[in-house]
Amino acid sequence: MSSQSAEAAALISVFEVIYQANLCIVASSVFLVYDYVVTFSREVNTFWPARLTGAYALFFVNRYVTLVWNMMGLAQLGKFSDKLLCTDLRQSCPAFYKAFAGISYFQYIIWAAFSGLRAYALGRNKVLAILVFFLATVPAGINYAQFRFGLRGDNDPTFGCGADTNMTPTLARNGDRLTYMSYHNGHYPSYLDMDNSGKKRHHL
């Protein structure tokens, strides 16, 4: 088998993995939306009439930020423009992905707040609760740091809007140990490589 044939076979294999991963994303999104639909009436009866408290606010933020993030995750599989169209986020891959990543990473802060409240409820120790909260926000800080390295959207004509950064190969490998062990942007990465310039590219 020639080197070109081997490269073509490897590329086809990668595309199959990405395609299957995207199908799983769509399937899981259907279950999530179904859960929102069947529980919406209970949410209205239980939470909407009550006085708004910090715990209730955290519930609503967690519930609807997750829904928005999931819908944006589906939208990123569509067709986008390569240009930065600030007036139309729906068509601009670079701008859309920055918003998508920001919302995705914000979920770590929500989960950290839940962890801190849980620690306080169990031990009634404010110092411990604050410590748990700040430790739980570490993944958010690590992921938000990618904006420092030019995190933006990169339009793929086949698989839609994916992520692109200017990390060096060494830094990217170190970062992968911290961020990609858990699911990145809500999806397990199906493809991750470096181009010839050392720029990190990954399509989810």
Q: Which two tokens stand for residue 54?
A: 């910090």
Predicted pLDDT of residue 151: 84
Q: What pLDDT does 77 receive?
A: 77
Q: What is the pLDDT of residue 12?
A: 83
The pLDDT score that the predictor gives to residue 163 is 79
Q: What is the pTM of this model?
A: 0.71
Half-sphere exposure (Cβ direction) of 57: Cα atoms closer than 13 Å = 4
What confidence score (pLDDT) does residue 18 get? 81
pLDDT for position 200 = 46
Q: What's the CA gap between 3 and 18, in Å, rounded?
A: 23
H or E segment and range at residue 31: helix 3-46
pLDDT mean by block of 10 residues, the chain; 204 residues: 75 83 87 93 90 88 92 79 53 82 94 94 93 95 88 76 74 55 40 42 44
Distance CA 70, CA 183 (A): 14
Q: What is the pLDDT of residue 32?
A: 92
The answer to whether 128 and 112 are in contact (CB under 8 A) is no
The position carrying tokens 């601009």 is 92
So what's the pLDDT on residue 199?
46
pLDDT (0 to 100) of residue 68: 92
Residue 103's pLDDT is 94
Look at residue 130 in the predicted model and tell me its pLDDT.
96
